[in-house]
Structure 1
Amino acid sequence: MNNFANKRAANTADRAFPLSPVAAGCTVFLMALAGSAFAQEQQPATTGAATTATTADTTNNTPNSAVPPAEDATVSTTTTPVSTVRVTGIRRGIEAAISIKKNSTSIVEAISAEDIGKLPDQSVADSIARLPGVSAQRGRSSGKSSDISVRGLAPSFNGTLLNGREMASTGNARSPEFDLFPAELMGSVVIYKTPDASVIGQGLAATIDLRTVQPLDFGKRTVAVSYKKSQLGVKQRDGLPEGDGKRYTLSYIDQFANRTIGVAMGFTRYDELGGGQSKFNSWGTASMDYNGASVTVPNGFGYDTEQNNHKRDGAFASLQYRPNKNFKSTVDLFYSAGETGLKKTGFEGGVAGNGGGAYELPHVLTNATIANGVATSGTITNWKGVVRNHYEGAEDDLKTIGWNNELRFGDWTTMADLTWSKATKLGSRYETTAGTLPGQQDTLAFSGFNGANVTQVKYTPGLNYSDRNAVKLTDTMGWSGGAASPQAGYLGQPYVEDEVKAIRLTAKKAMEWGPLTATTYGFNYTARDKARSGQDGRLLVIGGDPNGFTDVPGTGVAPAGASGFNVVTWDPRGSLGTVYQLAPKVDADILNKFWDVKERISTAYLMGDLDGSVYGLPYRGNVGVQAIHTDQTGGGYQIDNGLCTGNTIETCPGKRVTDGEKYWDVLPSLNLSFDLGQDQMLRFGLAKVVSRANLDDLRAGSNVTLGNLQGVSILTSSGGNPHLKPFRAKALDLSYEKYFGNKGYVSAALFYKKLDTYIFRTSRFYDFADTITPGTSLPLTGEYAGSTIGRLTEPRNGSGGNIKGYELAVNLPFSMVSQYLDGFGILVNHSDTKSSIELPREGFANVTGNGISIPLPGLSRKVSNLRLYYEKNGFQVAAAARKRSSFLGQVSDYQDNTQLTFIKGETIVDLQASYEIQSGWLKGTSLFVQAQNMNNEPFLEFTDDESNPTNRVDYGRTYHFGASYKF
């Protein structure tokens, strides 16, 4: 009898336990390897009997839920006594993940708890970035992996769940940042590349389900502790300081009252001070007059030395009660709270361009050397430089509670699930400036310029900016308008609050009607409320007149990035009330960042489990449909810049506005897995999928100002769009998989997504007659003189386009080739993705360069992963590399806005080695060393030419040393 027929027979024999194939497969895996408590009670461990019974696992809301492997697992494949083989460490994690993938009716990728723990990874993002078709983007400031792209699509195209439930987030996107989830607290991660009707919160690219440990899935009490010491920013450029960190983890899993009660708890804490990072920002090139001719010179520059710090406490708890086989109640709690900070010491100035302030005179080029129209060296007079000492910090927390109750009676399995999730984030952005006083100028010499090498030019200011006698805290440039509105610094304190509440009801009935083995009926209601508010203000030197100044506190000096010279440095935290006073500031840009969004989403779904054959070819799968009703309301402010006579609430009034939209989506889905024999599978997926807009795109409100568009005076405005509809696509997937038991596999997959609608920012003509007031300044000259017609930039829905690609994966132990290679293995995968979609460049103000269009954000054409490992007799050694090609990424700018920037392709190499003591009183103790970014790969941004980066960040290497003990 084939595998599918075996599973079908088991289901028919016990109708009280109709379940998804993944849950069944995972349970078979657990019971075969570790033996459940029930199996242990029924027979001695020495019999080695295989168990094929299936148990339900709808507790965590998704039918294909992943179950972590039990401890001290043993493998047995027959009903006669055989020798047991202990599978541990990396290989156990690989086999658990393969079992999940193999037994799923959808196309999925998975990673298990053991594999997460054995990789040199600090967050879930690092771990899952090694899966086929998955890539991670490093944060510009921290260097940590925080955003995940699947199949070349931006992170916002993913749906992210925790134990099958949607979560709140602290960013503009719907899903939380992955660095909120310490790797040690996860039991497993499953990435659904094809959806089924029972998965709520789906994404267009994928649905990522993070799963904590469920205590009754374990066969015995387990306690684990670990300690890790880290060195960060090792061997960077420019001799910058190294950082260090500490990390503690405790996990406890137990069962009580004859295994009717299960408890799992985990806690992790880490405290890291990052190594110094050298950053350079170029303003590109420009032209200046020299002796009556126009010559090319650098436009401007910014050098920075940055050092970040991270503190985080993470905890989870799971309490399960299962008094009998027909009822189970589970409460899951997850908590993550942290502080992040980034200290910046830098120096900036213009060459052809100036700093944009009221106190800087027009620059003059002198003493220049000219070659082919390029000023290779020269001196700028009437020049002012700015020393920057900034601190950007945030405190965040995420709390999620889920309560699931499951009851079975007869052929029915019913489930009720409640979710509450809340996230908050309070930012604090201190910006301070130091330099010469108003009316005082400096000079700047530059050399080594060839017309393009903006990152290699040598700059030499005339003054010594590390001398506190020459450099003062003051309004150096007059950036806020000069004496009428002095600004010696700036303080921004944005606040984000997001709350998600949901209820889900499900009923599943086992049946035998042709190929239909079960039907599932469900309803989910989600209410989400998210808002962004805060306070901004100018910092004024206490007791000073408009040109007030004071000494830079302390005596510290530090290098300004790779500039080659030092500048004064100090920590501005706590300076409000001692050095500065705050002048609250309100203008159109600030009010436009304050918004709130309410969503009420009702989802009804119907799904049938399939098990049958076509022309003698066995298959299993599911078919279903979701009907989703969305009621969304966006709030914000409408600001007329023409009425702003200052930058206070009284002098720049904003009008509170709200608007919204209601709409339906109907999403059919079909998943089929065909058994080709000899452990071969052919999977087919067909579905309609959606990804909702980022929440800030749904805000109402806009600002209107009299602007200049290509030399023409015209009204301009930008804002959100509360009428925005989701990305919508039809998805087709095909995957061939050849398994070698649960030890390895090879696979090849094709995917195609036909986009019906997508979201992009664009500018269009708009009549502002209903928005402006009689006091609004209208164009006085040109073709729009006196006209209320202008240009509005907002997110909108486009139509058409496609995304397509292929994925290849190999996961094999070398023992399959030769017994002499036992312990060695390889995992390698590669994906190639193309898209016909190009977005208008004009909608993204910060994406500069040539051309009129940009690619789809997040799309890396090629993504590859390689991992080689050796594991035997307690020794584990592994080397891993992940590579992605250049892409248009998302970063957070200095104003906490999400921006797009081109990021050069990169390869990250990680290494690890460990030894676990196998016997004696120290059995279960492991010693390990790990290295991240061993090749010291920098983070590079560019405009059009990736060989000419405009921004470079060097993170250095990170080393971890530690020990763990498990019993």
Structure 2
Amino acid sequence: MNIFATKRTAEPVRLAFHLSPVATGCAIFLAALAGSAHAQSTADNTTTTTNATSSVATAPASAEQAAAAAEPTPPGATPGVATVQVTGIRRGIEAAISIKKNSSSIVEAISAEDIGKLPDQSVAESISRLPGVSAQRSRSSGKAAEISVRGLSPSFNGTLLNGREMASTGNARSPEFDLFPAELVGSILIAKTPDASLIGQGLASTIDLRTVQPLDFGKRTVAGSYKKSRTGVKQRDGLPEGDGERYTLSYIDQFANRTIGVAVGFTSYEETGGGQSKFNSWGVGTLPYNGVDVKVPGGFGYDTEQATSSRDGAFATLQYRPNRNFKSTVDMFYSSGESGLKKTGFESGVAYNAGGKYELQHVLSQATVANGVATSGTVSNWKGVVRNHYEGAEDDLKSIGWNNEFKFDDWTTAADLTWSKATKLASRYETTAGLPGRAQDTLRYTNFDGSNVTGVKYTPGSNYADRSVARLTDVMGWSGGETSPQAGYLAQPYVEDEVKAIRLTAKKAVEWGPVIATTYGFNLTARDKARTGEEGRLIIAGNGGPYAAAAAPGSEIAQAGASGFNVVSWDPRGSLGSVYALANKVDADIYNKFWDVKERISTAYFMADLDGEMFGLSYRGNVGVQAIHTDQTGGGFVVDRARCVGNTAQTCPAQRVEEGDKYWDVLPSLNLTFDLKNDQLLRFGLGKAVSRANLDDLRAGQGFGIATQGVPVLTGGGGNPQLKPFRAKALDLSYEKYFGNKAYVSAATFYKKLDTYIFRSPRAYDYAPFITPTTPLPLSGPFAGSTVGLFTQPRNGEGGNIYGFELAANLPFSMVSEYLDGFGLMVNHSDTRSSIELPKLGFANVSGDAVRIPLPGLSRKVSNLRLYYEKAGFQVAAAARKRSSFLGQVSDFQDNQQLTFIKGDTIVDLQASYEIQSGWLKGVSVYAQAQNWNNAPFLEFTTDENNPSNRVDYGRTYHFGASYKF
């Protein structure tokens, strides 16, 4: 018996995907669908079918717009005006549910509760509450920073602004979410399945941030707010609290009989974090005492850290729609900020010499010894170091997009232009103070039991809060001593990234069986990114010799972490020229940080919108294919470490190199949504997706030399300009039950088969092109005299899978009883697993005994809960997000990204507000929020998550504010 209502030929939409299993699957489905009959007329389908992700920038951008989805249009375009009567929390929830419900793909969405009001303080925090999404907190600030979707690292996400790719200031392709003030974002959509028209997609998801569009509003709207913050509340060790202020203003209006629309928004904030106490143990060592080696503390480091941040952001949108057939939209976004981390601390060795030239061999005296442990004692020939470091950055992001849409007959055409540029200048000041030259001091310690390195009490012999004692100088002679003094260090890396793109699309309404529309498109993206900069030794200005010293400016003192004693404190910014001079430094490691990458990515795509009936069920969706050509070039430097005998360009010669590659990717995709009646949907997604490598992995260049340990062999490392993307086949299935636009429950499962992934490992490599007559070769062993050695770089591996499930519910309690009107619940849970493990040897910074490590960013379990009450202007909400332990990524003291195991945590946030409902103050609201109410610490570990190696406490953050909308 024929299961289809009618028979139709599949010939008009036959696609040549026979080389790919996914393409074959898409073709089989398409052939079956082509035999189905329409449940409604073509005209009815055109008005009732939606496809929120076929052009990811076109779904409603705020709660004002989200009552109904409209026919999709290219990036920069927007749907028609819609009216929503509900307000506040439920307004944002219903808008987000509308977007999710009307999509033809599997998506998650967040919509602002009001103009300039996402449900959280930051974009990253709001995103992290969605099913299958988790956030890694910043080590320095404690704020949600990087986003993982379905257990994959942040680099697996594509991030768009109004449907367009953007430049970034880091090594990754997508910009940091800190660059986007929450007040300037109207909605966020996460597409978990790809479709053919989605440019800049990621393997895990594509995150589209959307600003408001003025012609989607029915009237002029003006909103402003002020917020006061208190940070680091309830902090440990009695450290100082911080504060902050935030201002926002939004203006939306329409002119000339609603043919012109204008929207502008501004935000500005400054924040100082609470003090954070840090301790670094050097373990346990030994010193001779009365002719016997006894256990003593190895050494210590105490620090007090305080983060600061400020940002100015703005967006502007101008729309012109003189008639129904033409629309032009210009979007502009700007974000400029400064972040910093001030560190004031004290460090020294006890058993261990700090490694410099000016400290003598330690001598233990006046010790109390029990069972081979010197529980207390005095160490002479000792030196301590006061550290005043500053790590900061100034960044700038500009993005401009211009979209023009023209309709004629059955065609809708669009041209979209994008320009985006990001810059970031970082500064890393490291300054040291103490006794100049070969002057020595003493250190008294007590309360040591042989293992309790965190409980030892230290008392230096001198007062290091006295500026006449703790002088700015080369305390230890770290850079070689008298011949190469180093009173500090300064690195100023500079990143510049520019993206230009043009996109042309044409869409035609057709009647080809289940195909109701066809879209043809082409996108060309040109990207140029480079990292340069300068760094070197800081020496005391005035040529005072290797023992030169100067008093630290100012009179401030501060406690060094939990040490119990104070030290000299000062801010080293601006000290170059007045206190210090810079001795520029160039060596093999620094050359490795200089790189540039160029990409030219051409994408042609075809997509068919589907609407029909199969197995007695109506369906909608899309099927299509992308053909992507990539032309990539990486530049860098090759350094022969044997010839690098100094730290100048003359004493460390380098060779500029440039390499590249060209390749194709073909990405078929199929998305179907079946209507199971009674507001029930079954979604199915099948496709191929890619995630491109981080840009620094594509750099050329290398440093090499003879390995000094094990078998003599040439070894080196660098980037890989021939690196291909992560590639995966994906299968998704989702069941969703809706209750109008007020509530839903859903269950989803997914499976990703990785064809290629990126990992780091050594491989055989012939260094012959870079060998010179002065390059030493191995003299013994199996590689004696050979130019062939080992080269560690990012490479493409094969095989592995990622799979899991997601459960979600968004329910107002009024569905249960009218007496519970105003109460509601949002809850979700995801469980993700992977068979992929990476060789640990490619990540020298990962500690522990394991030979292999898990995929970075993968938390097996992630849960979110939000309870709320809203009625008569009152809003109260409590939220918690929880994730299990994972392998995360942090920035080290040399500005490099390092992997570290991070213990899972639970973060609890609270908020309450009241909006005046009538009278001359109508539209005024006041609110209070508390973040990290449970004061969850940030914990790193090596092998045992219950034995952390690093702990950071942030305390609570309180926000108090008021807003006015009219």
Fold shared by both chains (TM-score > 0.5): yes
Residue by residue over 1:231-259, the C-alpha shift from the partner in whole angstroms, topping out at 9 and shown as x without a partner, is 11112111111111111111011111111
2:557 maps to which residue?
A: 557
Residue by residue over 1:536-556, the C-alpha shift from the partner in whole angstroms, topping out at 9 and shown as x without a partner, is 121111231012112222222
Q: Which amino acid aligns with 1:666?
A: V
Greater CA deviation, 788-797 or 234-243?
Answer: 788-797
1:134 matched to 2:149: no
1:648 maps to which residue?
A: 648
Greater CA deviation, 163-172 or 665-674?
Answer: 665-674
**Alignment check: 8 A CA contact 2:813 2:824 kept:** yes
CA positional deviation for 1:6: 14
CA positional deviation for 1:227: 0.6
Residue by residue over 1:894-920, the C-alpha shift from the partner in whole angstroms, topping out at 9 and shown as x without a partner, is 221111111111111111110000001
Rounded Cα–Cα distance in structure 2 between residues aligned with 1:340 and 1:713: 45
2:324 maps to which residue?
A: 325
Counterparts of 1:792-811 in structure 2, within 5 Å, are: 792-811=791-810
CA positional deviation for 1:367: 6.3
**Alignment check: 8 A CA contact 1:116 1:127 kept:** no
Greater CA deviation, 483-492 or 6-15?
Answer: 6-15
The alignment partner of 1:125 has SS state of helix
Rounded Cα–Cα distance in structure 2 between residues aligned with 1:116 and 1:565: 49
CA positional deviation for 1:198: 0.5
1:60 matched to 2:75: yes
Residue by residue over 1:368-426, the C-alpha shift from the partner in whole angstroms, topping out at 9 and shown as x without a partner, is 66777766655555433221111222111100000001111111111110000000111
1:466 matched to 2:497: no
Instruction: Give the 3 Å change call, closer, same or farther, for CA 379–839 of structure 1 in structure 2.
Output: farther
CA positional deviation for 1:90: 0.1
Residue by residue over 1:867-907, the C-alpha shift from the partner in whole angstroms, topping out at 9 and shown as x without a partner, is 11000000000011111111111111122111111111111
CA positional deviation for 1:354: 3.5
Greater CA deviation, 141-150 or 817-826?
Answer: 141-150
CA positional deviation for 1:799: 1.0
Greater CA deviation, 660-669 or 442-451?
Answer: 442-451
CA positional deviation for 1:510: 1.0
Instruction: Give the 3 Å change call, closer, same or farther, for CA 780–362 of structure 1 in structure 2.
Output: farther
Rounded Cα–Cα distance in structure 2 between residues aligned with 1:778 and 1:351: 40
Rounded Cα–Cα distance in structure 2 between residues aligned with 1:409 and 1:372: 92
Q: Which amino acid aligns with 1:771?
A: F
1:606 maps to which residue?
A: 606
Rounded Cα–Cα distance in structure 2 between residues aligned with 1:199 and 1:451: 60
Q: Which amino acid aligns with 1:259?
A: R
Counterparts of 1:568-647 in structure 2, within 5 Å, are: 568-647=568-647
The alignment partner of 1:642 has SS state of coil
The alignment partner of 2:768 has SS state of coil
Instruction: Give the 3 Å change call, closer, same or farther, for CA 29–413 of structure 1 in structure 2.
Output: closer
Runs of 5+ consecutive residues of structure 2 not aligned to the other structure: 1-32
CA positional deviation for 1:559: 0.9
Q: Which amino acid aligns with 1:167?
A: M
The alignment partner of 1:433 has SS state of strand
Residue by residue over 1:912-944, the C-alpha shift from the partner in whole angstroms, topping out at 9 and shown as x without a partner, is 110000001111100111111111111111211
1:335 maps to which residue?
A: 334
Q: Which amino acid aligns with 1:417?
A: D
Q: Which amino acid aligns with 1:640?
A: D
1:146 matched to 2:177: no
Rounded Cα–Cα distance in structure 2 between residues aligned with 1:179 and 1:766: 41
Counterparts of 1:385-784 in structure 2, within 5 Å, are: 385-448=384-447, 453-543=452-542, 544-709=544-709, 711-780=710-779, 784=783
Rounded Cα–Cα distance in structure 2 between residues aligned with 1:90 and 1:645: 64
1:219 matched to 2:218: yes
1:883 maps to which residue?
A: 882
Q: Which amino acid aligns with 1:162?
A: L
Rounded Cα–Cα distance in structure 2 between residues aligned with 1:26 and 1:758: 29
Residue by residue over 1:579-627, the C-alpha shift from the partner in whole angstroms, topping out at 9 and shown as x without a partner, is 1111111111111101000000000111111111221012111111111
Rounded Cα–Cα distance in structure 2 between residues aligned with 1:317 and 1:466: 51
Residue by residue over 1:642-688, the C-alpha shift from the partner in whole angstroms, topping out at 9 and shown as x without a partner, is 11222111111111110011111111111111111211111111111
Rounded Cα–Cα distance in structure 2 between residues aligned with 1:454 and 1:862: 34
Counterparts of 1:87-236 in structure 2, within 5 Å, are: 87-114=86-113, 121-236=120-235
Rounded Cα–Cα distance in structure 2 between residues aligned with 1:144 and 1:502: 32
**Alignment check: 8 A CA contact 2:65 2:216 kept:** no
Greater CA deviation, 233-242 or 191-200?
Answer: 233-242
**Alignment check: 8 A CA contact 1:146 1:179 kept:** yes
Rounded Cα–Cα distance in structure 2 between residues aligned with 1:172 and 1:28: 30
CA positional deviation for 1:851: 1.5
Residue by residue over 1:267-301, the C-alpha shift from the partner in whole angstroms, topping out at 9 and shown as x without a partner, is 10111122212122334556667778777665443
CA positional deviation for 1:30: 11
The alignment partner of 2:225 has SS state of strand
CA positional deviation for 1:693: 0.4
1:47 maps to which residue?
A: none
Greater CA deviation, 189-198 or 939-948?
Answer: 939-948
How many residues are matched?
A: 931
**Alignment check: 8 A CA contact 2:396 2:423 kept:** yes
CA positional deviation for 1:448: 4.8
Instruction: Give the 3 Å change call, closer, same or farther, for CA 716–288 of structure 1 in structure 2.
Output: farther
CA positional deviation for 1:7: 11
Q: Which amino acid aligns with 1:963?
A: A
**Alignment check: 8 A CA contact 2:76 2:329 kept:** no
Instruction: Give the 3 Å change call, closer, same or farther, for CA 250–646 of structure 1 in structure 2.
Output: same
Rounded Cα–Cα distance in structure 2 between residues aligned with 1:30 and 1:703: 49
CA positional deviation for 1:762: 1.6
Identity %: 75
Instruction: Give the 3 Å change call, closer, same or farther, for CA 664–873 of structure 1 in structure 2.
Output: same
1:841 maps to which residue?
A: 840
Instruction: Give the 3 Å change call, closer, same or farther, for CA 547–560 of structure 1 in structure 2.
Output: same
Counterparts of 1:309-388 in structure 2, within 5 Å, are: 309-363=308-362, 380-388=379-387
Rounded Cα–Cα distance in structure 2 between residues aligned with 1:366 and 1:69: 82
1:856 maps to which residue?
A: 855
Greater CA deviation, 779-788 or 404-413?
Answer: 779-788
**Alignment check: 8 A CA contact 2:605 2:625 kept:** yes
The alignment partner of 1:114 has SS state of coil
Rounded Cα–Cα distance in structure 1 between residues aligned with 2:781 and 2:239: 54
**Alignment check: 8 A CA contact 2:359 2:381 kept:** yes
Runs of 5+ consecutive residues of structure 1 not aligned to the other structure: 37-50, 75-86
Rounded Cα–Cα distance in structure 2 between residues aligned with 1:387 and 1:427: 23
Rounded Cα–Cα distance in structure 1 between residues aligned with 2:857 and 2:65: 43
Rounded Cα–Cα distance in structure 1 between residues aligned with 2:572 and 2:689: 48
Instruction: Give the 3 Å change call, closer, same or farther, for CA 178–514 of structure 1 in structure 2.
Output: same
Instruction: Give the 3 Å change call, closer, same or farther, for CA 414–824 of structure 1 in structure 2.
Output: same
Q: Which amino acid aligns with 2:206?
A: T
Rounded Cα–Cα distance in structure 2 between residues aligned with 1:736 and 1:426: 47
Rounded Cα–Cα distance in structure 1 between residues aligned with 2:118 and 2:772: 61
1:791 maps to which residue?
A: 790
**Alignment check: 8 A CA contact 1:265 1:315 kept:** yes
Instruction: Give the 3 Å change call, closer, same or farther, for CA 885–849 of structure 1 in structure 2.
Output: same
1:20 matched to 2:54: no
Greater CA deviation, 473-482 or 276-285?
Answer: 276-285
The alignment partner of 1:195 has SS state of coil
Q: Which amino acid aligns with 1:20?
A: N
1:42 maps to which residue?
A: none
Q: CA RMSD in A?
A: 2.8
Residue by residue over 1:714-752, the C-alpha shift from the partner in whole angstroms, topping out at 9 and shown as x without a partner, is 433221111111111111111111111111111111111
